[in-house]
Structure 1
Amino acid sequence: MKTNFTISIILGILMLFQNAKAQDIFSPSEKRLSIRATSINDKMAIDGVLEEEAWSRADSLSDFIQIEPNQGRASENKTTVKLLFDKEFLYIGVNCFDKLGRGGIRVPDLKRDFDWRAHDTFAVCIDGFSDNRNSMSFVTNPYGAQKDYLSFDAVLFDSDWNGLWKVRTSITEEGWFAEFQIPWKSIRYAKGSGETQSWGINFLRLRRASNEISAWSPYPRSFSFNRMEYSGELIEIQPPTPSTNIQVNPYSLVSANRQMANNKFSDFDARYKLGGDVKWAINSNAIVDLTVNTDFAQADADVQVNNVSRFSVLFPEKRQFFLENASLFGPGLMADGNTSGKMQILPFFSRRIGLAQEGRPMPVDGGVRLVNRSLKQNFGLMAVRQRSYDTLPSANFAVGRYSKNLGKQNRLGAIATMKSTTGSHTNLTGGFDGFLRLGNSNSLNFMALQSINDNGTGKGFGGYSQYYYTSNSITAWWTESIVTKDFTTEMGFLSRTDIIGTNPGAVANLRGKYIPFKRFIRSLQPGVSTGWYHQASSKILLERELKLTPFWLEMQHGGFFGFDWSSQHQNLITSFIPLGVSIDPGQYDFQRYSFTAGSDPSRKVSYSLKYEFGEYYDGKLKTSDAALSIIPIPHISLKASISRNQFESVGINSDSRDVILYTLQGRLALNPRIQLVGLYQKTSQNGLDSYNARFAWEYRPLSYIYLVLNSRETLGDDYVSQTEQQGIFKVSYLKQF
C-alpha cells in the first residue's frame, strides 16, 4: 500500500468532517457558575443519610447539563449538591434522584478505584489553586466505593493516588445519597491565613441505566471532566492555614514459603519483616515520602497475556509507593494501538525497581521521594536502594524530573535517570520534553533523550514528537518516533529498539443525521491508522501496517461492535518465535480481519469478544479472546476469560498448534472495605498454572489487614516444572498528624 494512498485516506476523513459543527467545541463561559459552602460548628455523622440540620442551611445546586448523549440539554434525572465546611473538613452532600428508584441503580463491584464508566457514579473535582491546570477528584458509587486521582492539565493523571477521605452512601426509592467528608489536609490549596478563597470546582454524574453523563458546569464531550477552565467556582471558602501534615504508616508481616522439588514440597520457611512509610506534606506544594524495608505483598498479581506481536508487552505498575506522583516521573510515549502505534518510549519505568524477570520481587532496603508542584514549576527527586538477592547484585536507582509551566497550559521539562549495578556499570539517561496546547483542540508534545553507560557503551538517542487534534466530530494524530541501535535506558521501557516509527491516523465520531436506529446506536466511529517502521541503523523498512475500521458502533447502553481490516508487510531480519512457533527471516505480506463486540458492562451478565483471523506470515492464525462477567449482586463478581491462538502451517516447521490461556477472577465484598479477591491462570502451552488470593480489610481509612496466598509454576533450566507457594499475613496502620 503506497504511503501517499494512506495519507490521502486520512486527509479525506479530515476534510469530510471538518465542517461538522453541530454540538462541537465551545469556549468556557466568561461568567462562571458559583456555589457557596456554608460554615458550620455542628457535629456531623457521616452515614449517607443527610439528616443533620446543617444540611438544611446549605446552599444547593441542581441544574446539571448533559455531556452525553445530548450535549447541552438538561439532565433527565435531577441531581442536587450541597457543601459545608468546618475547621477540619469539607463536606459534600449529594442526592442523585432516579426515575426508576432502586431499579435504576447499576453497580458491578465494590473495589476501590473502580471503572467509573461501568457504575452509577458521582464525582467532584477541586482546583484549590484556581490555576485552571491541576485538580483533585473524589469519586463514589451508590454503595460507597471510593475512587480518587490527580489531574495535571487534563493530560497527565495520577489515577492510583489514594487520598485520606471518607464517604458513605444510602439507597432509597428516590435514588441514592452520598455524603463526603474530605479533610483539609487531603486537599492542595493556596497557602493563606484563614482568609476567604475561591476554588475551581465541578461535579459529574453518570446514570448508568441510560448511560447519561451530566455535569454542573458543562464542557465539550470530547474533553475530560478535569479541563478546569470549564469548571465553576466554590466561593467564600475559608480553609485553615496549612499546618503540620505527616502520615506515618508502619507495617508488620510474617510469611511462609515453600518449594516443590522431586514431587515433594520442602518445609515452610518462615520469615518476619517490619517496615513502613512516612509521608510529610511540608507545605501545600511539597511532599516528601520515605520508605524503609519496603513491602508490596498487597499488590495485585499480574495477569498473563499471550503475545503474538513483535513488540514487548508492558505490564502496569501496581505497587502503591511507585504509583503516587507517577505522572510527574512518567513522561513518554505510550502505545495504545492508534495514536502511538506500536511504539513505547519511557525514560522511567518503576517496575525496573524491586522486580526481576517474570515479575519476581526483589528486596528493597528503602527509598526517598521529594515532589514539589506549584503554579510555575514542578520538580521531583527519587532514590531507591535494591538489595542483592540470590545471584542478582544490589543496585541503586535515582530519577530526577523538572517541568516549567508556560502560559495557560504549556509545559517544558527535563528528566534524568541513573541505575548503578554493584560490580558492573552505571547507566545514565537524560533529556527534555514538552507539551504545547495550541488552542482548545490542538496539542503538540515531544521528547528527546540521550543514554550512555560509564564504561562508554550504551550511547544512543531516543525521542518522539506527536501532534494531536480532538473535537466532538473527529480525532486525528501524527506521531514520529526514533530509538537508535545503542540507546539503552535501564530504568525505562522500550517496546523496540533500532527503529524509526511514523504513525498518522484519524477517527470520526458521527452522530445526528448520520446515524440510523438512534434508539440503539449512539455514534458511528469509522477510522484509519497506519504505521511505518524502519530500522534506524540501516533505514530499511521492517514493518508497514494499514488498519481500516469501516465501522465501529457505540451503542446507547454502553456496548460496542466493530470490524477492522489490516494489511501488513513484515520484513524479518532475525528469527521470530511467537508462543514457541519459530518463523524464518524474510519478507511477508498478509492481511488480517477482526470483529469486536461487547455488551453493557453494568449488567449482571456482560461479555466482550474479539475474533481475529487471516494470514499470518507464511501461514494462518485465528485469535479468539472472550470474557464473561457474572455479577449477581455488587458484593459478588466473577469473570472468566479465554485467549486462544490457533496456528495453521506457520513457521519453519509449518506448525499447527493451539495455545490457550485460561483466566478466572473473582471478588467477594462484604462492603467496600472488606473484600476477598482471587486470580487463577493456566496456559496450555506448557501446562503451568498460578493462583493468587488476597483478603483485605480496611479497618480504618488506609489502614489494612491482609492475608495473601500465592502459588506459581515455572520452568527451570532443565525444563522441569517447579512450584513455589507463599502465604503472607500483613498489618499496616496509618496515622495522620
Structure 2
Amino acid sequence: MRNTVTLTLLCIVVSLNGQTIFEPPIDKISVSATFTGNSVKIDGELTETAWEEAKVLTNFIQIEPNQGETSQFNTFVRVLYDEQNLYIGAFCEDLEGKKGVRVPDLARDFSFRTNDTFAIGIDGFLDERNSITIATNPYGTQKDYLSFDDTFFDARWNGLWKVRTSITDKGWYAEFQIPWKTLRYNETGDTSSKWGINFVRQRRKSNEISAWSPYPRAYGFNRSEYFGWLMQVKPKKPSTNIQINPYILSEYIETKENGETQTSENNYTIGGELKWALNTNTLMDLTFNTDFAQAEADRQVNNISRFSVFFPERRQFFLENASLFGAGLYSDTGGSGNLSIIPFFSRRIGLDSNGMPLRIDAGLRLVHQSTDQSFGVMGIKEDGGTSSSASYNFVGRYVKNFGKQNRLGIITTTKIQNENTNIIGGLDGFFRMNKVHSIGFTAMTSVDTQNDELGFGGYLQYRYDTNSVNAWWTQSILDERFKPELGFVSRTNVFATSPGVVANYRGEKLPFKKFLRAYRPRIIGNWFYEASSGKLTEREISISPFWLEAQNGGFFSFTTSFSEQNVSNAFTLLNEEIAVGSYNYTRYNFGIGTDPSGKVSAEMNYEFGDFYNGNLNSWNTSLTIIPIPHIFLSGTINSNSYDSLGTGLNTRTADLYTLESRIFLNPRISLSGLYQRNTQNNSDFYNIRFAWEYNPLSYVFLVFNSNQKNIAEDTFLERQAIVKLSFLKQF
C-alpha cells in the first residue's frame, strides 16, 4: 500500500508542472511618493488638495480567478507623505455600490476569505523577505500583521495607524495614515530611500483578487520579491520612539460547590508594558504584572484522535514577533501529518496544564531584524500559583539570511523550576532552490539537569508548490527522551513519514465553469512508528477524489481514509478505554460549504465508519447569520455518536454546542458573547466581553466568565468579572 501511494503521488507531480509560476520582473513597476505640506484629514473621502497632486496607480492584474488578466473592477491608489506619516489613498470601484460590498463583521484582524479587502504590503528593508501588511474592509475595520518569507506570520501584531472609509454608489474609499514610527526600514543615510510595496484588492462578491504588482496564484500576497518599488520615500530621521501602555484592573472571582460559596475575593492590579524602538531595526519590550483579561477564550474541543490538541496563542504580548521565535513544524500549516514539533510555545508560560492563568511578574524581550540577520531574546518570571513554585523562562533565537530566500537559525530555551533546569538547543534552516522547490528542517536536543536525560527531535521537509500542484514529503522523529518544557509536541517516541499531494485543475474540461472554479483532488499519507522499537503504531491514507471549489468560495468534498492502529498501551478516547491490540478500519467523510461571505452561510462535515473496535458517526455543522455587518451570529454543533466502542463496548453520544455573537457599534466598539455546552464533561461555559478602543490601541474592557461542571451528583461553578482600562501613549 505504501509503495502504491508513493508511486501515485510521484505520477501526479510529474504530470502537473509549474510553467505558470513566472519569475519576478527585473524592471519592477514603481511609484514615487509625493511630499505634501498640506494637512490630510483622515475621513475616508480623499477630498484634500494634497491627493490631487499624487500620481494615480491603476491597472491591477488578476491573481484569482484568471491569473494574468486585467481586473474586472478598477482600483485607484495614491501615495503621499509628510514629516510624520505615510498616507495611502485608495478607491475600489464597484458600480453595484453598497450592494456589491461583502463584510461579514467588523472584528479587528478580519478574515481575508470572507471580506472585501484592500491591503498594503511594505518591504521597508528591501530584502524581499520581511514585510508589514496593513489592510481594511469597506467599513474601516483594521487588519495588520508581519510576514517573513511568506512562511511565518505575526498575525496578531497590532501597529499604531489609522484608517477611515466611505461607501458610495460607485465603490468605496479607504484613507490610511501610517506613522513612520510604526514602520520598519533600513536607515540608509540618503536623502531618499527605495522600498518594496504592493497593493492587493479582493472583491468578495465575485471572489476576484487583483494586485498592482502581480504574483503567481500559488503564492501568498506577502511573497515580497514580487512587490513593486516605492521611490523617493523620505521618512523622518528616527528619533525617540517609546510606547507606554499601562493598565488598571479590578477583578471579582467567586467559586461555588453545590450552590454553596467556597471562595469570594476582589483583586486590584496595576501593570503594563513599555515598547522602545531603539532604532528602526531593534525593538525592546518590558512587561510588568502582565495581564491577558482581554484575550479571547479558548474554544473547547472533543478530541477523537491520539494526538494532543494544539490550542493557538491568543495573548497579545506573546503574539508580537512570534514568527522570529516560531521555528519548528506546525500541524495546521500542512505537510506535517498532524504532527507538531515546536521548540518554543509561548502558552507554556503564564498558563498551567489546564489552561488556567498564572501571574507573570515581569518580562523582557529584545528583537533585532535586518536584511542580513535577525535575533531575539526573551526572559519571563512566572508565578507558580498554589500548585507549583515560581519559574524562570528564557528563549534565544538567531537567524542568518543568505542568498535570495535561504536562512539558517539556532534556537535555545531554558526553564528553571524547583531543582530542575530544562534546556533545548536547536538548529533549523530553510532553502528555496528555485520558485517551486524548497527544503526546511529542524534538529533539536533536550536535557533535564535533574536526571541528566538527553533527548532528540526534528524533521526534514521537501515541498513542491506551483499553481497546478502542491506536494510535500516530511520525515519527523521524536525520541522517547525528548522533553521540551517550553515547547509543544503532539506525541512522543515517534518516527513519522508524511507525504501528500494536492492537485489544482482549472482547465477548459472543468464542467459547470460558471459555478466551479477548481477541481482539487488530493492524496495524503501518514505512517507513524515507535522510535524506540521501529514498530508501526499508526497508518492513515486519505484519498479525496472529489474536492470541488465553487466560484463563490463554497466547496464540496468526499474523502476515504484507510487506518491501521496498533495500540501497545491502553488509552482513553471520548471517555472510553481503548484496549491494547491492532485495529484496521475505513472511514468516509463528506464536506460541503456555502459562500462564507453571504448573509447566511453554512458548513457541514459528516464522517462515518468503523472506529477502533466500534463505530463512530461525527457531525460538524455550523450556521452563520450576518443580517448587517454590525451583527454576527453563529452556531456550531459537534456531535460524536459511537456504539460498541472501547473495553466496555459502550454506546453513547458526546455533543459540543457553541453559540457565538458579536455586535458592533463601529469597528472600535463591540460586545461579544460565547457559550459552549459540552455533554462529554457535562460543562457549561460563558464568556461575555465588551471592548471600546477609545483611542488607537487604548481600550476599556468589561469581561464576564462563567464555567460550570457537573460531576456525578456535584456541581462546581466558577465566575469571574473583570473591568480593565488600558492607555497607550507614544513618544
Identify the TM-score tier after normalising by the shorter chain: over 0.9
Unaligned ranges ≥5, structure 2: none
Please point out which of 195, 214, 222 is paired with 1:218: 214
Determine whether 1:736 maps to 2:730. yes
**Aligned residue type for 1:218:** P
Residue 132 of structure 2: aligned partner? 136
Determine whether 1:358 maps to 2:354. yes
**Aligned residue type for 1:520:** F
Moved more, 81-90 or 255-264: 255-264
The 1-side partners of 2:312 and 2:332 are apart by 13
Residue 446 of structure 2: aligned partner? 451
Residue 11 of structure 1: aligned partner? 10
Percent of matched pairs sharing the same residue: 51
The 2-side partners of 1:618 and 1:375 are apart by 56
Please point out which of 46, 54, 64 is paired with 2:42: 46
Q: Is the 8 A contact 1:192 1:241 kept in 2?
A: no
Matches within 5 A, 1:98-137: 98-137=94-133
Determine whether 1:632 maps to 2:627. yes
- How many Å apart are 1:242 and its aligned residue? 1.2
After superposition, give the CA deviation of every residue in 1:503-539 in whole Å (9 maximum; x if it has no partner): 0111110012231110000000011010110000011
Moved more, 448-457 or 459-468: 448-457
Determine whether 1:346 maps to 2:342. yes
Please point out which of 674, 677, 702 is paired with 2:697: 702
Determine whether 1:247 maps to 2:243. yes
Q: Is the 8 A contact 2:120 2:199 kept in 1?
A: yes
| CA distance 1:190–1:517, change in 2 (3 Å) | same
- How many Å apart are 1:3 and its aligned residue? 1.7
**Aligned residue type for 2:730:** Q
Residue 60 of structure 1: aligned partner? 56
| CA distance 1:719–1:127, change in 2 (3 Å) | farther
Moved more, 258-267 or 305-314: 258-267
**Aligned residue type for 1:648:** D
The 2-side partners of 1:266 and 1:393 are apart by 24
Determine whether 1:382 maps to 2:381. no
Matches within 5 A, 1:316-715: 316-336=312-332, 338-421=334-417, 423-714=418-709
Please point out which of 148, 154, 173 is paired with 1:158: 154
The 2-side partners of 1:243 and 1:486 are apart by 50
- How many Å apart are 1:551 and its aligned residue? 1.4
SS class of match (1:328)? coil
**Aligned residue type for 1:236:** Q
Q: Is the 8 A contact 2:95 2:169 kept in 1?
A: no
The 1-side partners of 2:263 and 2:8 are apart by 65
**Aligned residue type for 1:345:** I
After superposition, give the CA deviation of every residue in 1:466-518 in whole Å (9 maximum; x if it has no partner): 00010000110000000001110010001000000000111110012231110
The 1-side partners of 2:257 and 2:504 are apart by 58
Moved more, 531-540 or 387-396: 387-396
Moved more, 136-145 or 193-202: 193-202
The 2-side partners of 1:465 and 1:415 are apart by 17
TM-score, structure 2 normalization = 0.99
Note the aligned Cα RMSD (angstroms): 1.2
Moved more, 574-583 or 488-497: 574-583
TM-score, structure 1 normalization = 0.98
The 1-side partners of 2:604 and 2:375 are apart by 43
After superposition, give the CA deviation of every residue in 1:668-699 in whole Å (9 maximum; x if it has no partner): 01000001111100111232101111100000
SS class of match (1:299)? coil
- How many Å apart are 1:424 and its aligned residue? 3.2
How many residue pairs get matched? 731
- How many Å apart are 1:651 and its aligned residue? 1.2
**Aligned residue type for 1:121:** T
| CA distance 1:211–1:617, change in 2 (3 Å) | same
- How many Å apart are 1:195 and its aligned residue? 1.0
Q: Is the 8 A contact 2:258 2:715 kept in 1?
A: no
Matches within 5 A, 1:65-104: 65-104=61-100
Unaligned ranges ≥5, structure 1: none
- How many Å apart are 1:54 and its aligned residue? 0.8
| CA distance 1:192–1:9, change in 2 (3 Å) | closer
The 1-side partners of 2:249 and 2:420 are apart by 34
SS class of match (1:217)? coil
**Aligned residue type for 1:217:** S
Q: Is the 8 A contact 1:128 1:189 kept in 2?
A: yes
Please point out which of 287, 299, 302 is paired with 1:306: 302
Residue 170 of structure 2: aligned partner? 174
SS class of match (1:327)? coil
After superposition, give the CA deviation of every residue in 1:74-114 in whole Å (9 maximum; x if it has no partner): 00011000011000000101000003111100000000000
- How many Å apart are 1:193 and its aligned residue? 4.4
**Aligned residue type for 1:140:** T
SS class of match (2:331)? coil
Q: Is the 8 A contact 2:186 2:370 kept in 1?
A: no
After superposition, give the CA deviation of every residue in 1:543-596 in whole Å (9 maximum; x if it has no partner): 111110101111000111101001000000111211101111100000000001
